[in-house]
Amino acid sequence: MLEFEEEFFEGHSLDELFYGALEEAPKVNGVTVIFKHNNSFYPNDIPDLYKEILNRDDFSNSVQSIGFYKYDFLDIKTIINNIGEVDLLIIKDLTIDRTIILNIIILSFLLILSTIFVSIYISRKFYNRFIVSLDSLQEITNNIDLNNIDDHFESENNFIEFNNVIISYENMLKRLKEQTDAQVDFVNNASHELKTPIFIIDGYINLIKRWGINNKEISSEAIDSICEETKNMNSLVQKLLFLAKDNKNIIEIQNINLTDIIQNILSDLKIIYPNQKIFFTGKEIFIKSDPHLIRQLFLNLIENAIKYGKENPIEIEIAHNKNISVSIKDFGEGISEENLEHIYDKFFRVDKARSRNMGSHGLGMSIVKKIITILNIDLDIKSTLNKGTTIIVTLPLSSISSK
């Protein structure tokens, strides 16, 4: 624009100046450059809309807009010596951009609608595939009670997340069933086993009431028997409580001296069975396990050997090769193959008449079975009738202490 004055002074016409400027203007797609001077427009074939823009009264030096995203324009007014006022109009046609934006909006809207419909379809398919399992789970939950706890139910479902929920639910039912069964067993077993000592105690109390008040011999016999039955009842209740507990959750792994534990057991049993001969051999061995459960395990095994050993000597030996094994050998009456199959059954006794006199409740081997399961211990029983029984307890490698 500053060159107009010089070129006009050199003799160029206004038409040459304006059209020369239009030729030199950068060619940008969608952008139009227009000059106005003394109501003349350059170029002269412009749309009426552009003329209306140049004839507007609301002049502004900033970019203005027409319509919704249709045109942007900039109107610049300049005073040139010897020429006068010149309007420069730069217009950007936004119709193509608007079309693109509108198409994007429409496509986005269609895409959103499609996504919603597809989501609804997938959700329904997903819902229909596991609603049966949900209904089954709800029905089981509504109908379950202590009498019909089932720790497994059929569920056809391919979703791993829902299957994990089903597995967790089954594990919960399994734990509830185990606890319920243990409580029911405890009540049934206690009521069954306590009948005899209660009946005996009641009989001796009646005997004292009738004859023993003034008879010291009868009174003494009755009191001794009542005391003995009370001890048996206490022992029975302790064993039943142990079997009813969930000892898996209260295991305390410690570094313990297995040799010391067995020696302490033998010292305690010596008081109860002073005439019993027990030969114990083995060097000092340390293991990692629960001291209470290990003591319970060997106490029951050794006491069983004493009770069924016919007062013959008992041999106990600790061996340490790849694993640690403890053998307990008696030379008593032995166990038949038929009875060996039931050795871990609760209240099972090889000779029920003799077992009662020996203070046996038939729970010792049930306790042993529970302990070896909890501590992952192997137990092997070899027995021959009238020759004796050998029990070999093998502790796993993971339980051996480096001490």
Residues 266, 268, 271: CA angle, nearest 5 degrees: 105
More confident: 43 or 7: 43
Residues 378, 369, 327: CA angle, nearest 5 degrees: 45
Q: How confident is the model at residue 181 (pLDDT cuts 50, 70, 90)?
A: confident
The amino acid sitting at 35 is F
The amino acid sitting at 400 is I
Mean pLDDT to the nearest integer, 7-22: 73
Span 300-348, pLDDT tens digits? 899 889 988 888 999 999 988 778 899 999 998 888 877 777 777 765 5
Query: Which pLDDT belongs to residue 5?
Result: 62
Contact at 8 Å (CB) between 137 and 152? no
Domain formed by 160-244, architecture: Orthogonal Bundle (1.10)
Span 34-88, pLDDT tens digits? 888 887 888 878 877 777 777 777 767 788 877 777 888 888 888 877 777 888 8
Span 367-401, pLDDT tens digits? 788 888 888 889 999 988 888 999 999 987 666 66
Question: For the whole model, what pTM was predicted?
Answer: 0.48
Mean pLDDT to the nearest integer, 134-150: 68
Query: Which pLDDT belongs to residue 24?
Result: 78
Fold held by 250-399: Heat Shock Protein 90 (3.30.565)
Query: Which pLDDT belongs to residue 260?
Result: 92
Question: Is pLDDT above 90 for 191?
Answer: no
Query: Which pLDDT belongs to residue 358?
Result: 46
Q: Where are the alpha helices (DSSP H) in 36-159?
A: 48-54, 95-143
Compute, in degrees rounded to 10, the torsion defined by CA atoms 238, 198, 346, 182: -60
Neighbouring residues of 388: CB distance < 8 A, sequence distance ≥ 6: 309, 312, 329, 330, 331, 332, 334
Phi first, then psi: what are they for 29, rounded to 5°?
-60, 125
Fold held by 2-93: Beta-Lactamase (3.30.450)
CA-only gyration radius of the chain, Å: 51
Q: How confident is the model at residue 235 (pLDDT cuts 50, 70, 90)?
A: low
CA distances from 101 to 31, 72, 401 (A): 19, 16, 76
Q: How many CB atoms lie within 10 A of CB 142?
A: 7
Taking the domains of the chain in order of start, what are their residue ranges?
A: 2-93, 160-244, 250-399
Count Cα atoms within 13 angstroms, Cβ side, for 222. Answer: 19
Mean pLDDT to the nearest integer, 167-189: 74
Neighbouring residues of 226: CB distance < 8 A, sequence distance ≥ 6: 201, 204, 205
